[in-house]
Structure 1
Amino acid sequence: MSLITPVILSGGSGTRLWPLSRTGRPKQLLSLTSEETMLQLTASRAPVSEGYAAPVVVANAAHVEMIEEQLTAGGLEQALLILEPAGRNTAPAIAAAALAVDRDALMLVMPSDHVIRDVAAFRAAIAAATPLAEQGWLITFGITPDGPETGYGYIQRGEELSPGVARVRNFVEKPDRATAEQYLAGGDYSWNGGIFLFAAGAYLDALGTHAPDILAAVQRSMEGATREGHRLYPNRHDFAASPSQAIDYAVMEKAERVAVVPVEMGWSDVGSWDALHAISDTDEAGNAHHGEVFAIDTERCLIRSEGPVVAAVGVSDLIVIATPDAVLIMPRGESQEVKRAVAALQKDGHITLDRAL
């Protein structure tokens, strides 16, 4: 069996963290929780120095220069970049990576924009999963819930297959709060964090069985790919012909040999400004600061500036995000509502949705 190959999915261009995250520079290319960007932190969890193969990064072609710059800064000039000509969700993206490596290569699939605080726990979970992945099982990593979260899908565990690894009994959609509370009380559910380990050939075989249209389109696109150094460009027409589907729906919910490794590793998908506040260091008043910020008689706020001085006086439970060309102010606890601001800007065709800072 060859080395484990990290496959980093960096095709996202969401705006849930607007005005900092934009289509021109999405969240995975930002430094949100440390000096390193989220992409660099993701790559550092499975480094060549620890025996992993050089990573494969599947990314939006529009971001290639920024990605190369960040990978080079992290000593990963040898990473293969598969540059999607169109977004087709995770099942086709992972298929492209699987077709670019040996069939027996184990692929550790990771989103590029998640936080994992306890990397040692993550690596222990990978070690527990590896023997079954070598036997052809498709492994997902289940995040130990810390509350009745309604924003994630859940994975129900069945019988134990080996120490720390269980057969998946069921994948379930995002629940309402009462159902989520039942899942927590039952103790046999994990959050679906979208991190996987499997052999490339096992994934391609499962995809051919359960989503053959995706496999056929991606195969054609990779057969017609062009290469420039470490950049690989799948054929635009063929890749765009693939159905757009997540790996969960295309493969994981349908395949027979699917297992889950529950792991508590300080995980967050940083899917909102509230989520960032929750994992950030705070002062004695519960404020999380970044940039030149003065918080006076202020409590429980997330205040971040990428340029202008921000002075907050006598306020509480606010999110304040300032960039050189935009300011967002909203109540804490309602940060998902940033989509309303984004919708208004989209209607106006506003440049701050696309312009990279």
Structure 2
Amino acid sequence: MTLSVVPVILSGGSGTRLWPMSRPERPKQLLALTAAETMLQLTVRRAMPGPDSTLDFGVPIIVANAAHADLIESQLADIGVRDSRILLEPEGRNTAPAIALAALAARTPSDALLVMPSDHVIADLPAFHAAIARALPLVEQGWLVTFGITPDAPETGYGYIKTGEALEPGVHRVDRFIEKPDAARAAAMLAEGGHAWNAGIFLFRADAYLAALETHQPAMLAASREAIDNARRDGLRLYPCATAFGACPSDSIDYAVMEKADKVACVPVYMGWSDVGSWDSLHAISATDGANNSLRGDVVALGSTGCIVHSDGPTVAMSGVKDLIVVVSNGNILILPRGQSQDVKKLTEALKARDVA
């Protein structure tokens, strides 16, 4: 019998690296950055039942910030999703507890939970679905599966997964997880092969994840269970008990579970993935004009090349410049050279100190 694949979409991030468009009250997953639909809507769509998919997708579970409940419910309704379950965290406790809430709320313990961040891009959907299908036989046996992105560059901004022996065609035991490397180590891993980027996308049975928590993080499981047992329901929304969840240890699924569990596998896949983690990465996946400019909004660019310009209203006119990031949104203006978009975090921290961001 084919396992039911239940999408678990993690939507609690604040997306500060895409300031000023992305802000705490409307983070990047709730914005239309790469298409007409928001990133949350696109994430939900890639795990919906359809005539071209052989996978049995179930009703999605969204784990989100309680402050975004109205926006999320509205965006789901706009794409015809009206029977989701929305778990609203009273506070962020990182990914391992968020997934614990979803596993405890799953309708059937044997459901395969497809855990996905809400703010990633996957361009090749058939490749993603094929990778899920390859993983399901091991998932049914209780394995915890992560999807590793086949690297095409020595990136230093991602963690890596070293794959070991083949367990099934296209599925390997995880040898070890590797922290974000320096440039030399990243280049060496790319040349060596057998390494994948850690994208934070997972597939496992709900009961297998809860069993792993029982073994490796019993306090986290106990607090999450108490939070769900004492949750308040309101239509599609489930509000876990704030007191219980506030006492839950905070940790990522990688540190809390995946690096400790025995039956951990990886499916390497090349599927046009991006975490859209900066304005530079957004430029890399955006449509551009003949001068490699990505322009959205009322923008005039004369003799300019390699720029990304987004404006939510005011006209932006530029001439004879190259490789700039210019973003006008929410009454704020961001200007910096391409290649330095990681500095946005420093800027937002400086602005918070002035009560601006």
Normalising by structure 2, what TM-score? 0.97
Tell me how far apart the structure 2 counterparts of residues 33 and 58 of structure 1 sit (CA, whole Å). Answer: 22
Q: Identify which of 57, 63, 88 aligns with 1:52.
A: 57
Q: Is the 8 A contact 2:11 2:118 kept in 1?
A: yes
SS of the residue 1:103 aligns to: coil
Tell me how far apart the structure 1 counterparts of residues 90 and 267 of structure 2 sit (CA, whole Å). Answer: 33
Superposition deviation, residue 340 in structure 1: 2.2
Tell me how far apart the structure 2 counterparts of residues 321 and 212 of structure 1 sit (CA, whole Å). Answer: 45
Superposition deviation, residue 344 in structure 1: 1.8
Q: Identify which of 82, 88, 111 aligns with 2:87.
A: 82
Instruction: Give 1:100's aligned residue.
Output: 105
SS of the residue 2:76 aligns to: helix
Counting aligned pairs with the same residue, the percent is: 59
Letter in 2 for 1:29: L
SS of the residue 2:4 aligns to: coil
Structure-to-structure mapping, 1:228-307, within 5 angstroms: 228-307=234-313
SS of the residue 2:147 aligns to: strand
Q: Is the 8 A contact 2:294 2:309 kept in 1?
A: yes
Q: What are structure 1's unaligned runs of at least 5 residues?
A: none
Please provide the CA RMSD for this pair.
0.8
Q: Is the 8 A contact 2:20 2:330 kept in 1?
A: no
Q: Is the 8 A contact 2:21 2:330 kept in 1?
A: no
Superposition deviation, residue 323 in structure 1: 1.5
Tell me how far apart the structure 2 counterparts of residues 300 and 16 of structure 1 sit (CA, whole Å). Answer: 20
Instruction: Give 2:329's aligned residue.
Output: 323
Structure-to-structure mapping, 1:139-150, within 5 angstroms: 139-150=145-156
Letter in 2 for 1:63: H
CA deviations on 1:125-155 (whole Å, 9 max, x unpaired) are 0000011001100000000111000010000
Q: Is the 8 A contact 2:294 2:308 kept in 1?
A: yes
Superposition deviation, residue 281 in structure 1: 1.1
Tell me how far apart the structure 2 counterparts of residues 240 and 74 of structure 1 sit (CA, whole Å). Answer: 33
Q: Is the 8 A contact 2:28 2:119 kept in 1?
A: yes
Q: Does 1:63 align with 2:68?
A: yes
Instruction: Give 1:345's aligned residue.
Output: 351
Tell me how far apart the structure 1 counterparts of residues 285 and 15 of structure 2 sit (CA, whole Å). Answer: 20
Tell me how far apart the structure 1 counterparts of residues 128 and 5 of structure 2 sit (CA, whole Å). Answer: 14
CA deviations on 1:17-69 (whole Å, 9 max, x unpaired) are 00000000000000000001000000011103353111000000000000000
Instruction: Give 2:170's aligned residue.
Output: 164
Instruction: Give 1:16's aligned residue.
Output: 17
Tell me how far apart the structure 2 counterparts of residues 303 and 230 of structure 1 sit (CA, whole Å). Answer: 38
Instruction: Give 1:31's aligned residue.
Output: 32
Letter in 2 for 1:61: A
Tell me how far apart the structure 2 counterparts of residues 324 and 152 of structure 1 sit (CA, whole Å). Answer: 30
Superposition deviation, residue 282 in structure 1: 1.0
SS of the residue 1:179 aligns to: helix
Q: How many residues align?
A: 351
Tell me how far apart the structure 2 counterparts of residues 161 and 324 of structure 1 sit (CA, whole Å). Answer: 50
SS of the residue 2:41 aligns to: helix
CA deviations on 1:188-217 (whole Å, 9 max, x unpaired) are 000000000000000000011111111010
Q: Is the 8 A contact 1:48 1:54 kept in 2?
A: no
Superposition deviation, residue 324 in structure 1: 4.4
